[in-house]
Amino acid sequence: MFTPILTIASKEIKDNFRNRWVVFIGLILTSLSLIISFSGSVVTGELAVPELPMLMASLSSIGVFILPLTAILLSYDSFIGEEESGTLLLLLSYPLSRSQILLGKFVGHITVLACTIVFSFGLTAALIHVFTGTELSLLLPLFCHLVFSSILLSMCFVLVGYVVSLQVAEKAKAIAILLFIWVAVVLVYDLILLTLMVAEAVELSSQLLQVMILLNPSDIFRALMLVAAPQQDTSSSLSSLVQFPLSNLYIALTIWVGVMMLISQSLFHRKIF
């Protein structure tokens, strides 16, 4: 059962690490994390690491833009690309179930993304500890939340890439649709939600605000980090507007991953090649 999945995952890992743009995006994420951590205060005329709540909010803002984009760039041609090249039909001719193929690709893609996330944020945490003396007991819980929630967010958008890849007839259409989804979900929707969060009439729309958070995995991720590292002045902090406990936000993000996995499996099993 697990051997075919691991074999397919190993192939995906090798293929993706051969693509230099994956390493390039990893370097971008690492560079931005370090710049924000150590140079983000330059605009104020001083060089200091921001307070942890502010730092985590900044790092999560980077993650919410880069990680979904990286995930869809990894997964957009997972099925349509192999269908166009003829390798998917060859793969289906082997004694493999479609679920094994899907899970193998998923494990491979998430392994690549998890390595990038752990390296980028782990290096940032290590350097903050070394150069500022911040206690590991303060750093580790926050960065563990950041890493784990980033992986869940990446899982969700990898599966979104699978859904689109299984629906279209050309790779160009897949990447165009996914980029549109990325702009709509990560930029437009997020901007609307943040506007509501800071609006004067936010108390009148509190229930609507909570529902809107749950309808977008990127906003669940952002809300999760706001709750995990709340600012000291809770009266003016955006984290005070999020009414979900940390565990519920993790559950919501996990449900998004499960739902997208079920949709991907259903589409793959019904697709005729």
pLDDT band at 134 (very low <50, low <70, confident <90, very high): confident
Q: Please give the distance of CA 100 from its chain centroid, rounded to a whole number.
A: 23
Q: Average pLDDT of 233-261?
A: 80
Q: What does the alpha-carbon distance between residue 100 and residue 83 come to, in Å, rounded to a whole number?
A: 17
CA distance 268 to 258: 15
Structure tokens at 95: 């004694």
Q: Which of 33-37, 116-120, 122-126 has the lowest mean pLDDT?
A: 33-37
Q: What is the per-residue burial (b if ≥16 Cβ within 10 Å, else e) of 174-186?
A: bbebbeebbeebb
Enter the DSSP assignment of 70: H
Predicted confidence band at 261 (pLDDT cuts at 50, 70, 90)? very high
Cα angle at 104 between 115 and 257, to 5 degrees?
Answer: 70
Between 243 and 48, residue with greater pLDDT: 243
Rounded to two decimals, the pTM is: 0.91
Average pLDDT for the chain: 85
Q: How many CB atoms lie within 10 A of CB 113?
A: 26
Q: Distance of alpha carbon 244 from its chain centroid, rounded?
A: 20
Contacts of 83 (CB under 8 A, 6+ apart): 89, 273
At residue 230, what are phi and psi to the nearest 5 degrees?
-70, 150
Q: What is the mean pLDDT of residues 2-14?
A: 86
More confident: 160 or 231: 160
Please state the three-class secondary structure of 83-126 as a single string: HHHCHHHHHHCCCCCHHHHHHHHHHHHHHHHHHHHHHHHHHHHH
